[in-house]
Amino acid sequence: MSFDLVLFGGTGDLAWRKLMPALFQAFRHGTLPAGGRIIGVARDDLSDEQYRALIRARFDEVDLAKRPSPEEFDRFAALLHFLRVDLSKPQDYQRLAADLRERNADTVVMYLATAPSLFTAACEQLAAAGLNTPNTRIVLEKPLGHDLASNRAINETVRRVFSEKQIFRIDHYLGKPSVQNLFALRFGNSLFEPLWRRETIANIQITIAEDLGVEKRGAFYDQTGALRDMVQNHALQLLCALAMEPPINAHADAIRDEKLKVLRSLKAWTPQALAQDVIRGQYSAGNVAGEQVPGYRSEPGVNPDSMTETFVALRAEIANWRWAGVPFYIRTGKRLAGRDARIVVNFRPAPHAIFNSPPGAANRLVIHLQPKDGLELHLLAQGQDNRQQKNAGQSLSPVHLDLDFDKRFGSGRVGAYERLLLDVIDGRLNLFVRSDEQEEAWRWVEPIMEFWRNDNTGPRPYAAGTWGPSAASAMIARDAYCWSEEC
Ligand code: BG6
């Protein structure tokens, strides 16, 4: 099958940091269909050769294991082309159209790895140049808008030009092998399903912690913040995967219908919940892995009086029969104590104690998403021979069943962007987000944005290298629970 993948923003950060390495990995793994072209598109004036040289130089900055040898790069580089396109100039789209028409590939993928403010204009221009043919797919990177209204405006324009089955909205968390394993755990095994409900589960915690700061994206991040950057999309998609009902099959719409129901069932915010159950924080200077790092307000591109949050912790509830009353805690932030994304499912303690168990001990399932990818099941067992002690033989200690997917399946597993790009080329929509899901997620976070706009106390400071403001621990402690690293 021949394909043309047109990468708008072809010289940008996302292209060289994530997309090119992912395409190269697919090429190396032999999964990139033969007969393809990858066409970088940007305003720069570059020849194919200059573009290849630029990408080659950038590969020096990606993970060593993912770096190509010179010979390998040359073979990959034969797929790379460059076309100068100014997104505001109709004649440039005409040139692109002429190039694509000449080749007449089976599939054409338009990947908009540009600022979202350009999406609407780009789609209209693509249509005007006759580039919205049935064999064309369009890929939109997050963030898709900055609130519900702007998200809708983008989606409406894109849908005027392309049908929903041509639109691939990326949330790269859905492409992570660990997140796919979450679906496999829930819907490929029958073991947990009877336990996956309010009667047995006390609370669920979703943590996406990063040790990095805002790096070179200060200006973008300062307009965005953790709620829009991580909660509205990645964290809520994880929550959907955890809370959704089993879909009737593995087709895209069956999965998306169930995720949508979860988003629609999220309990609406009350003024009291907004004041108590959402904590925002901003990192100040601190120490991360032995290195002194500056505070957020001193990062390049960030307003020195910025009120933007780099941390959010919140308590959500899902109002349906399966989950009523079970708190779902979501927490994400930059410059936290480590890079660690995990889901912790805390089961209810045994209903009647006949053993001596450590205080608060109960079963727990830890789903490690990154950097480790695996499952840990915490059980209580009688390990030591304690006949000499009082209550002989009756004291239990925690033990773990530990499953390491990297060890089990090897580290050559397909990465998130690699997987998603191949899915776009193959036309598989399962791991992409539908517009109604996105809108529902925006609808749910908007009251938080509104509340913060009117609350000038601003985000709570936390020292870089910690787990965020202590208010996040106080929030969960009100339910008599604690974050998994604290208990
Ligand atoms: C992106 C956010 O969507 O996800 C970034 O914009 C964040 O701010 C990144 O750093 C995290 O992705 P990952 O795959 O490194 O967890």
Alpha carbon distance 335, 262 (integer Å): 30
| C-alpha of residue 456 to centroid of ligand 1, in Å | 28
Measured from the CA of 217, which atom of ligand 1 is nearest? 8
Residue list, ligand 1 pocket, CB within 6 Å: 210, 229
Alpha helices for 209-325 (secondary structure H): 218-222, 225-226, 236-243, 252-265, 271-276
Over the chain, what is the mean pLDDT? 94
| Three-point CA angle 476, 236, 183, nearest 5° | 105
| Cross-strand partners of 168 | 139
Residues, the chain: 487
Alpha carbon distance 392, 356 (integer Å): 10
| Domain assignments of the chain as residue spans, ordered by start | 3-141, 174-413+435-477
Task: Look up 234 and say whether it is catalytic.
Answer: yes
Measured from the CA of 341, which atom of ligand 1 is nearest? 16
Alpha helices for 244-369 (secondary structure H): 252-265, 271-276
Beta-strand (E) ranges in 19-65? 36-42
Residue whose C-alpha is closest to residue 400's, from 354, 356, 368, 353: 368
Averaged pLDDT, 418-428? 96
Instruction: Place 115 in a pLDDT band, splitting at 50, 70 and 90.
Output: confident
| Cross-strand partners of 169 | 140
3-state secondary structure of 474: helix
Q: Which of 60-69, 253-262, 367-376, 462-471 has the lowest mean pLDDT?
A: 60-69
Alpha carbon distance 378, 382 (integer Å): 13
* Letter string b/e over residues 21-53, b meaning 16 or more CB atoms within 10 A of that residue's CB: bbbbbbbbeeebeeebbbbbbbeeebeeeebbe
Closest C-alpha to ligand 1, atom 6: 229
Residues 6+ apart with CB under 8 A from 360: 349, 487
User: Out of 234, 251, 352, 368, which one is annotated catalytic?
Assistant: 234
CATH number of 3-141: 3.40.50.720
For 160-195, write each residue's pLDDT tens digit. Answer: 999 999 999 999 999 999 999 999 999 999 999 999
Closest C-alpha to ligand 1, atom 14: 173
Residue whose C-alpha is closest to residue 234's, from 187, 179, 177, 188: 179
CB 306 within 8 A of CB 294: no
Q: What pLDDT, on a 0 to 100 scale, did the predictor assign at position 487?
A: 85
| C-alpha of residue 160 to centroid of ligand 1, in Å | 30
Measured from the CA of 176, which atom of ligand 1 is nearest? 14
Instruction: Place 34 in a pLDDT band, splitting at 50, 70 and 90.
Output: confident
* pLDDT above 90 for 410: no
| C-alpha of residue 214 to centroid of ligand 1, in Å | 10
For 277-291, write each residue's pLDDT tens digit. Answer: 999 999 999 999 899
Q: Which of 234, 312, 343, 418 to mutate to test the pocket of ligand 1 (most atoms within 8 A of CB)?
A: 234
Instruction: Place 393 in a pLDDT band, splitting at 50, 70 and 90.
Output: low
Q: What are the φ/ψ torsions at residue 277 (nearest 5 degrees)?
A: -105, 10
3-state secondary structure of 253: helix
| C-alpha of residue 208 to centroid of ligand 1, in Å | 9
**131, amino acid identity:** L
Q: What pLDDT, on a 0 to 100 scale, did the predictor assign at position 92?
A: 95
pTM: 0.95
Measured from the CA of 224, which atom of ligand 1 is nearest? 6
| C-alpha of residue 335 to centroid of ligand 1, in Å | 13
Alpha carbon distance 129, 467 (integer Å): 50
Closest C-alpha to ligand 1, atom 2: 229
CB 442 within 8 A of CB 312: no
Measured from the CA of 208, which atom of ligand 1 is nearest? 16
Averaged pLDDT, 61-84? 89
Averaged pLDDT, 364-378? 96
Averaged pLDDT, 355-361? 84
DSSP letter at 172?
G
The β-bridge relationship of strands 328-333 and 201-209 is: parallel
| C-alpha of residue 161 to centroid of ligand 1, in Å | 29
- Helix and strand element counts for the chain (H, E): 17, 17
Q: What pLDDT, on a 0 to 100 scale, did the predictor assign at position 1?
A: 84
* pLDDT above 70 for 388: no
* pLDDT above 70 for 384: no
* pLDDT above 90 for 117: no
Q: What pLDDT, on a 0 to 100 scale, did the predictor assign at position 63?
A: 77
Give, rounded to a whole angstrom, the gap between the first and last alpha carbons of the chain.
Answer: 53
Q: What pLDDT, on a 0 to 100 scale, did the predictor assign at position 152?
A: 96
CATH number of 174-413+435-477: 3.30.360.10
Residue whose C-alpha is closest to residue 10's, from 65, 79, 102: 79
Residue whose C-alpha is closest to residue 425's, from 91, 16, 13, 26: 26
Alpha carbon distance 397, 384 (integer Å): 9
